[in-house]
Amino acid sequence: MRDAPFQIKPIAGAIGAELLGIDLSADLPDSTIAAVRQALLDHLVIFFRDQDLPPDRFLALAHRFGTPIEYPFVKGIERYPQIINVAKLEHEQINFGGVWHSDTTYLQDPPMATLLVAREVPDSGGDTLFANQYLAYETLSDKLRALLAGLKGVSSSAKADASRTREDRIRTDGSTDARRLLIAEHSAVRTHRETGRRALYVNRAHTIRFAGMTEEESAPLLEFLFAHQIRPEFTCRFHWTPGALAIWDNRCAQHYAINDYAGHRRIMQRITLAGDRPG
In a domain, 33, yes or no: yes
> pLDDT tens digits for 243-263?
999 999 999 999 999 999 999
- Considering only 38-42, 71-75, 224-228, which range has the smallest mean pLDDT? 71-75
- Domain-located, residue 1: no
For the chain, give the mean pLDDT.
93
Position 2 in a domain? no
146: in domain: yes
The number of distinct structural domains making up the chain is 1
The predicted pLDDT at position 105 comes to 97
- Looking at the predicted structure, is the pLDDT value of residue 162 above 90? no
By percentage, how much of the chain surpasses pLDDT 90? Answer: 89
| Residue 278 counted as domain residue | no
What's the mean pLDDT in 19-30?
Answer: 96
* 228 domain residue, yes or no: yes
Predicted local distance difference test score (pLDDT) of residue 159: 83
- What's the pLDDT score for residue 78? 96
pLDDT value at 118 more than 90: yes
**What's the pLDDT tens digit per position in 164-197?**
655 554 556 654 565 689 999 999 999 999 999 9
Long-range contacts of the stretch 161-167 (C-beta < 8 A, 24+): 163/98, 163/99, 163/205, 164/94, 165/94, 165/95, 165/96, 165/97, 165/98, 165/99, 165/205, 166/73, 166/74, 166/96, 166/97, 167/94
Q: Flag whether pLDDT at 62 surpasses 60.
A: yes
Query: So what's the pLDDT on residue 135?
Result: 98
- Residue 135 falls within a domain, yes or no? yes
- In this predicted structure, what is the pLDDT of residue 170? 53
**Residue numbers annotated as active site:** 101, 103, 255, 270
**How would DSSP label each residue in the chain?**
-TT-SSEEEE-SSSS-EEEES--TTS---HHHHHHHHHHHHHHSEEEE-S----HHHHHHHHHHHS-EE--SSBPPBTTBTT-EEEEE-TT--SPTT-S-B-TTTTSSS--SEEEEEEEE--SS---EEEEEHHHHHHTS-HHHHHHHTT-EEEEEHHHHHHHTTTHHHHHHHB-TTTT---EEEEESEEE-TTT--EEE---TTTEEEETTS-HHHHHHHHHHHHHHTT-GGGEEEE---TT-EEEEETTTEEEEE----TTS-EEEEEEEE------
List the domain range (segments joined by +) for residue 230: 7-273
Q: How far apart are CA 242 and CA 227, in angstroms?
A: 32
Identify the band that residue 125 occupies on the pLDDT scale cut at 50, 70 and 90.
very high
- Average the pLDDT over each of 86-100, 149-163, 213-227, 262-276 and give the range with the smallest value: 149-163
What is the CATH number for 168? 3.60.130.10
Is residue 63 in a domain? yes
- Percent of the chain predicted with pLDDT > 70: 92
Q: What is the structure's pLDDT at 178? A: 57
Record the pTM: 0.93
